[in-house]
Amino acid sequence: MKKRILLLAGGQSGEHEVSLMSARSVLAALPRDQFDVTPVAISKQGRWLPPTDTRQALENGSAESGGDLVLHRVASAEGYDAVFPLLHGPMGEDGTVQGLLTLAGIPFVGSGVLGSAVSMDKVMTKQVLASAGIPQVAWRLAVRREWSSDADDVRARAAELGFPLFVKPANLGSSVGISKVHGPGELDAALDLAFSLDRRVILEAMTASRPRELEVGVLGNDAPIASPVGELRFAAEFYDYETKYTEGRAEVHIPAPIPEDVALRVRELALTAFRALDCAGLARVDFFYLEDSGELVLNEVNTMPGFTQTSMYPKLFGAAGLGYSELVTRLVELALEER
């Protein structure tokens, strides 16, 4: 019998459009002889669109309005074998939708509430990974209330890290709201921007020099495997939104041209991080590699990485011999696996 799959896409975060692109690819790739897929787009207002409006949204690349409230939809989601919450960022990748699906008793692709929530928040991720002995850059947390009541204290935290530094909303992705701050004069604008998007903001020391950027895929539940390591190269000062989503701005190298022992360590660290964060199904783990010193630091863990045919995660497993359709099929199998 065919498995009935509910594919969720869009959502309320700054990564709405990216999610719809990923979903279009996954929808086209899930084998029709095995799966009966219903796509449901979530509008920017958080309403769940009926399938006809969803097809329109997938074509347009944006779901602006219409739809039902989430609880009506979850109730009618009964009868699906699994849900593929192909949502990036807050209200999707952060444990909220995962909590809803857990309550509804419907298996779903990817990490559960704990792994999703902890991995989404860059500060919580750093705290958990530090206790697992994983190398990371120095960082400080600031919350919105501190920025409005004691801005000097927040500025002092930044000064402790030195410039340049990175200011990031703690719970976002696709580089949305991230600034590289070259000196104190640029700090306030960066913090204003980050706090307009999140209550929690992370200040991060920059790596000692411009790093090489390595990414690795992890696939599995309690016995996860790591993909080959990939490298991103681009001319921009850092891997910003434009560079990520403008055709031709970044080059992907798989496998990354790095020493064997570095690749091995990247894969080991990724698996350690995946377990420490209680991830499941899939994750893409991003690293900085300082070629001169040989230093490797873990940057972040993405529990629902970009998933178009040309996104890094599917490409990494493609290089390992697992095609896109096989990969999404495997993810649904993992969602249905007894744990």
Binding site for Mg ion (CB under 5 A): 173, 286, 300, 302
Rounded Cα distance, 319 and 252, in Å:
12
Least separation, in Å, of the C-beta of 269 and Mg ion? 15
Considering only 107-115, 220-228, 265-273, 296-304, which stretch makes contact with ligand ATP by CB under 6 A? 296-304
DSSP 66-103: --B-HHHHHHHTTT-SEEEE---STTTTSSHHHHHHHH
Considering only 76-84, 199-207, 245-253, 268-276, which stretch makes contact with ligand ATP by CB under 6 A? 199-207
Of 13, 22, 174, 175, which is the active-site residue? Answer: 174
Q: Which does 175 bind (CB under 5 to 8 A by kind): Mg ion, ligand ATP, none?
A: ligand ATP
* Per-residue tokens: 263: 């690749």
* Segment holding 216, helix H or strand E: strand 212-220
For ligand ATP, the closer CB: 53 or 93: 93
For ligand ATP, the closer CB: 116 or 299: 299
279 binds ligand ATP (CB under 6 A): no
213 binds ligand ATP (CB under 6 A): yes
Least separation, in Å, of the C-beta of 250 and ligand ATP? 10
Q: Which amino acid is at 229?
A: V
19 binds ligand ATP (CB under 6 A): no
Within 137-156, the residues that bind ligand ATP by CB under 6 A are: 137
- How far apart are the two ends of the chain, measured CA to CA in Å? 23
The contacts of residue 110 (CB under 8 Å, 6+ apart) are 85, 98, 116, 280, 281, 282, 303, 304, 331, 335
Q: What is the dihedral of CA 82, 8, 276, 258, to 10 degrees?
A: 110
3-state secondary structure at position 324: helix
Write out the catalytic residue numbers.
15, 174, 245, 284, 286, 300, 302, 306
- For ligand ATP, the binding residues (CB under 6 A) are 137, 166, 168, 172-175, 178, 204, 206-207, 211, 213, 238-239, 286, 288, 299-300, 302
